[in-house]
Amino acid sequence: LKMTFDRMDINVWEVIEAAKTKPFGFQAFYPGPGLGGHCIPLDPFYLSWKAAEYGMWTRFIGLAGEINTRMPGYVVHRLTEALADEKKTLNGAKVLVLGLSYKADIDDDRESPSYELIELLQERGAEVAYCDPHIPIARPGRKHDLGMQSAPLSAQEFAAYDAVVLSTAHEEFKDPALYAGVKLLCDTRNAVTPPEGCRYVRA
């Protein structure tokens, strides 16, 4: 829905907030740059595989997985468009990704979409760094081995990049003062109120 609403120029976060005013029968789920963790990205596919043994085809599980897997690519697409609006290209751009863990305020990076996001940016020629106060060194994982260390958490550091992409909404990242010198902030979590002068794009 986030991708559809973006195409329609509708703020999906405003839609969710409006839907939450319903006094019953609604549970809010929020979009992001993809799914991570040890369960949701993997366990439904075990069910799908087992169901197939019994002649049951759980297409919805597969479709949901495909859409969630595409989300890091969608974030890269939105960032590429935003840079192009500034007459810049992703190839050669300095990009800082905020957050390696798969959810806020923890150090668990299993299946985190941030890894896929970083690798896609690198494949397209961006010079990428990350900042995560909970993960000072990017650990080798099942699919990824970035060999990177976290950049410092400071406004001066953030201002040194052509774009900052917020992937994980750690509390430490919600201070607007951090973005005072940021040229372009691509927020995948609707987590930051940007200061004046910072171009802000939801992705």
Is residue 87's pLDDT more than 90? yes
38: left (phi over 0), alpha (psi -120 to 50) or beta: alpha
Q: What is the DSSP string of 17-50?
A: HHHTTSSSS-------S---SSSTTTHHHHHHHH
pLDDT tens digits for range 91-124:
999 999 999 999 999 999 999 999 999 999 999 9
Q: What is the pLDDT of residue 44?
A: 86
Q: What is the pLDDT of residue 38?
A: 80
What amino acid positions are annotated as catalytic residues? 39
Question: Tell me, what CATH number does 115's domain have?
Answer: 3.40.50.720
pLDDT tens digits for range 1-21:
889 999 999 999 999 999 999
* Burial of 5: CB neighbours in 10 Å, binned 0-12, 13-18, 19+: middle
Segment 128-132 mean pLDDT: 99
Write out the two tokens for 115: 């890894």
pLDDT tens digits for range 19-69:
999 888 888 989 999 989 888 878 888 889 899 999 998 888 888 888 999
Q: What is the pLDDT of residue 112?
A: 95
| Nearest-angstrom CA–CA distance, 29 and 63 | 18
Number of domains into which the chain is organized: 1
Write out the two tokens for 191: 């987590």
| Nearest-angstrom CA–CA distance, 122 and 112 | 17
Domain range for residue 130? 2-20+29-202
Q: What is the pLDDT of residue 125?
A: 98
- Cβ–Cβ contacts within 10 Å for residue 96, how many? 22
Q: What is the pLDDT of residue 24?
A: 87
Q: Residue 146, Cα to own-chain centre: how many angstroms?
A: 17
If you average pLDDT over every residue of the chain, what do you get?
94
Q: What is the pLDDT of residue 62?
A: 87
Is residue 178's pLDDT more than 90? yes
Q: pTM of the full predicted structure?
A: 0.91
Do residues 26 and 33 lie in contact, with contact meaning Cβ atoms separated by under 8 Å? no
DSSP 8-state code for residue 151 = P
| Nearest-angstrom CA–CA distance, 123 and 121 | 5
